Amino acid sequence: MLSTPAAPSSSVAQATALQQFFEQYPEFDYNPEEVPLSEFHRMCRAFGWGSSYHPEKNAAREEFNAAMKDEFNSLYGSDEKDIRNWEKLCHVLSIEPVPKTLSACRHAVLEKHVNLVDLVQAPTRHVRLFPTEKALSEYTLEKNRIFPKEDARDGGVLRALRRHILDPKESRPPRNGQKRRGKKGRGAKANTTPAA
């Protein structure tokens, strides 16, 4: 079954980035209560886009990845120097009391290991925290909840929260928002979504 994206409706202005993405495919019954990535894969199956080289699937994946990042930025902000963005994350991650300074807020959030796909769903679900980057990696890969690859669309908050999913360390401390030094590409934060 082939699908042609529909023109956005006038009600799209109030829809979230993910809702706007799925509204392009009115034949698909999107369930916002489900994991967004699972819904994308379900849509691909419904349209018969099985091959990872299917042109419609690849185009839809690019748009979906952009929608995931836009959704994150809409929920949590993109300016890493705005304390309100870190305060939102403190609330979602159940950090109590919420620190009063930008530095303390940021530090409290970055001490946590959390799946980014789960954070996008946080308004409707409890967010699970992990004791280590390795535990987060195991969950992320097992559940196939891999956030789209890092690119210029990432805001500073999203960039700071990324973890090394394909090369996790049991003892690697959480990121402090600083870029790591080392071989380029080694231990890259595995945020690419595997081909479905």
How confident is the model over 29-68, as pLDDT tens digits? 999 888 899 999 999 999 999 877 889 999 999 999 999 9
> Assign residue 28 a region: left if phi > 0, alpha if psi is -120 to 50, beta otherwise?
beta
- pTM > 0.85: no
Which helix (H) or strand (E) segment is 114 a member of?
strand 113-114
